[in-house]
């Protein structure tokens, strides 16, 4: 009954306070203006601007505007709709990941349990704030269940490859991404300079999620821009022919500066240097996620994971940075400020 009453409580309150509401309105406004600028560039002669770069720029803007708008509505409605939003993103991303590589008949019943068992279970545990369970169900129990269930089918062809693929997809698309929604459950402390000790933070946890999403979004755009403007030294050409060290370092430094700017709004309990460090870590992990998923795509011989909208890349191509950065961000906050 305790958990049932907690669910009803979740439906009763919005997560957006004044500062968070203003911030997300500004973000949507900036994205809207950039989309208009992108449309203007699209109509210019190809001799002025590279049509391929403009097209990729516009695709990123459309996706992030859609995600920010959905996130704003979900946060306005409360924690449960926000958890459901991330659950749907996980389901779609996992579907793209599994579709990318062929499966055998012996995998189908295992995939049934992965999609309709472990995926919703993970988000139910997050919604109930059962930290001790949602942090171990997939990496422990699912990782043991998946190979055992496939083994019971008697299909041993490429057994290790098939189990590893399903386990990795579940780990990244569901387990890692669910940590973004789990940010809403954190009760944190903040440094009080007057008393020189840690005191309870009374801000809305939505600020933690907004800080994270904005840094990931801006880091993604900055890495893209730095690569095109200043990129000279490729990180790994055989994995991604556009990602450069200049882009990674430039995006990380600029993200850290943005973190300090966001610190001026009372949306997180971070100090100014804590905000810069968190933004730096988020940016580096976001770039790591993009490189890792690019390596998987090259290994499978595909360009994109799927197509969320006709003419656009898949959703996993856009949220890979979120998936890699979310658990690191969550555990750093929980370790140092909880």
pLDDT, tens digit, for every residue of 90-144?
999 999 898 877 777 878 899 999 999 999 999 999 999 999 999 999 999 999 9
The rounded percent of the chain whose pLDDT value lies above 70 is 90
> Average of pLDDT values for 13-30?
82
pLDDT band at 212 (very low <50, low <70, confident <90, very high): very high
CA angle 78, 185, 134 (to 5 degrees): 115
Residues 223 and 244: their CA atoms lie apart, in Å, by 8
The residue among 160 and 12 whose pLDDT is bigger is 160
Asked whether the predicted pLDDT for residue 32 surpasses 80, the reply is yes
Structural domain contains residue 284: no
Q: What is the pLDDT of residues 190-203, one digit of tens each?
A: 888 888 888 899 88
Q: How many residues does the chain have?
A: 338
Asked whether the predicted pLDDT for residue 62 surpasses 80, the reply is yes
pLDDT band at 261 (very low <50, low <70, confident <90, very high): very high
The per-residue pLDDT for 55 is 73
Structural domain contains residue 59: no
Residue 14 region by backbone torsions, left for phi larger than 0, else alpha for psi between -120 and 50, else beta: beta
Q: Return the structure tokens found at 115.
A: 């999609």
The per-residue pLDDT for 107 is 86
Structural domain contains residue 279: no
Structural domain contains residue 65: no
The residue among 117 and 44 whose pLDDT is bigger is 117
The per-residue pLDDT for 256 is 96
Structural domain contains residue 298: no
Structural domain contains residue 114: yes
Query: Beta-carbon neighbour count of residue 137 at 10 Å?
Result: 18
The per-residue pLDDT for 177 is 96
Q: Return the structure tokens found at 187.
A: 């009760």
Distance between alpha carbon 216 and the CA centroid of its chain, in Å?
Answer: 8
The CA-based dihedral angle spanning residues 163, 85, 248, 309, taken in that order and rounded to the nearest 10 degrees = 90
- Residue 173 structural domain: 86-185
Number of domains in the chain: 1
> Average of pLDDT values for 225-246?
87
Query: Beta-carbon neighbour count of residue 106 at 10 Å?
Result: 18
The residue among 246 and 15 whose pLDDT is bigger is 246
What letters, b where the CB count within 10 A reaches 16 and e where it falls short, cover 249-271?
bbbbbbbbebbbebbebbbbbbe
CA angle 250, 251, 255 (to 5 degrees): 120
Asked whether the predicted pLDDT for residue 311 surpasses 80, the reply is no
Residues 309 and 64: their CA atoms lie apart, in Å, by 13
Residues 208 and 84: their CA atoms lie apart, in Å, by 18
- The owner of tokens 């810069």 is 276
pLDDT band at 306 (very low <50, low <70, confident <90, very high): low
Asked whether the predicted pLDDT for residue 225 surpasses 80, the reply is yes
The per-residue pLDDT for 310 is 41
């Amino acid at each position: 009954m305790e958990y049932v009453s907690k669910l009803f409580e979740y439906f009763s309150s919005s997560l957006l306070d004044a500062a968070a509401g203003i911030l997300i309105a500004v973000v949507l406004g900036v994205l809207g203006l950039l989309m208009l600028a992108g449309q203007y560039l699209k109509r210019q002669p190809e001799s002025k601007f590279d049509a391929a770069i403009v097209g990729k720029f516009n695709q990123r803007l459309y996706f992030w505007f859609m995600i920010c708008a959905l996130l704003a509505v979900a946060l306005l409605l409360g924690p449960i709709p926000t958890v459901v939003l991330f659950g749907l993103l996980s389901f779609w991303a996992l579907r793209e990941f599994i579709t990318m590589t062929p499966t055998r008949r012996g995998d189908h019943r295992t995939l049934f349990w992965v999609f309709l068992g472990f995926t919703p279970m993970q988000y139910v545990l997050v919604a109930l704030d059962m930290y001790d369970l949602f942090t171990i169900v997939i990496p422990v129990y699912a990782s043991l269940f998946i190979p055992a269930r496939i083994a019971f089918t008697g299909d041993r062809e490429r057994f290790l490859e098939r189990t590893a693929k399903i386990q990795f997809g579940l780990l990244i698309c569901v387990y890692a991404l669910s940590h973004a929604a789990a940010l809403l459950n954190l009760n944190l402390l903040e440094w009080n300079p007057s008393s020189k000790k840690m005191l309870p933070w009374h801000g809305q946890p939505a600020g933690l999620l907004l800080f994270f999403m904005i840094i990931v979004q801006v880091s993604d755009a900055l890495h893209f821009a730095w690569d095109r403007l200043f990129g000279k030294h490729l990180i790994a050409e055989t994995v991604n022919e556009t990602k450069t060290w200049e882009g990674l370092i430039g995006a990380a430094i600029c993200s850290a500066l943005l973190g300090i700017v966001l610190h001026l709004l009372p949306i997180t309990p971070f100090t100014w240097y804590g905000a810069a460090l968190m933004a730096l870590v988020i940016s580096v992990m976001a770039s790591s996620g993009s490189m890792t998923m690019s390596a998987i795509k090259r290994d499978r011989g595909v360009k994109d994971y799927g197509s969320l909208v006709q003419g656009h890349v898949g959703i996993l191509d856009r949220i890979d940075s979120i998936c890699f950065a979310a658990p690191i961000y969550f555990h750093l906050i929980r370790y140092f400020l909880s």
